[in-house]
Amino acid sequence: MATVVAHELYRFFHKGEDETFALRGVSLCLPPGEFVALVGPSGSGKSTLLSCLTGLDEPDGGHVTVNGNRLTRRPEAVRARIRATNFGILLQSGNLFPHLNVAQNIHFQMTLAGKADDARVEQLVELVGLRQRAHAFTTQLSGGETARAALAVALAVNPPILVADEPTAEVDADTEARLIDHFETRCRAGLTTLLATHSAALAQRANRIVRLHDGRLDYE
């Protein structure tokens, strides 16, 4: 059984009399243990697709199932439960609690899942290159540091499905290489990883590249 199946997703937005299609009949199947790079120009619909796949946004047409459970057009409490059980999510904003420092944000995510582990907090901080910033609050972090901290939170409980928007956008080459190695380790462990990215280095290491253009998918 596929971990995530999206069937004919449509999403459009209205601004005045103008209508913009962000997704135009997107179908996507993500089996367990696959590492997929989602690529395409800015404005192609990548972030909208990630939001629909995780139930953070509702498509106007089509549906998503996760491990056989329908995610689309279900009560928010049901969607939240499916997200908590299956997903680690990195979006472009809103991933961290500002009153907690980096290590506390990671630890809190683990506590919610009943998997608090101080040693893993240290491992994740090292993985994303924030060992010296573990006790910094979000207001003290640069944009790149904030993104790396948010990725550590998304990885906190080693989720069955990692969905991340530009996880290596503002990291140095060494950190990016370390993160890509980690994504490949997840793949070998049977965990699913879907990353929207502009990074050629990351895309080249993925099992599959999926291209999104003008809200439509093409496969390589």
pLDDT for 2: 62
Q: What is the pLDDT of residue 17?
A: 74
In words, the CATH class of domain 4-219 is alpha beta
- pLDDT score, position 20: 83
DSSP 131: G
Could you list the mean pLDDT of each consecutive 10-residue stretch along the chain, which spans 220 residues? 87 82 94 95 92 95 95 94 91 85 94 89 93 92 90 93 90 88 93 94 93 83
pLDDT in the model for residue 62: 96
3-state secondary structure of 129: coil
Q: Which ranges in 40-172 belong to alpha helices (H)? A: 46-53, 76-86, 102-112, 118-127, 143-154
The whole-angstrom separation of Cα 144 and Cα 121 is: 19
Q: Give domain limits for the chain.
A: 4-219
Q: State residue 96 phi and psi, 5-degree precision.
A: -120, 150
pLDDT of 168: 87
Token pair belonging to 145 = 């540091």
List phi, psi (to 5°) of 207.
-70, -30
Two tokens, residue 139: 């207001």
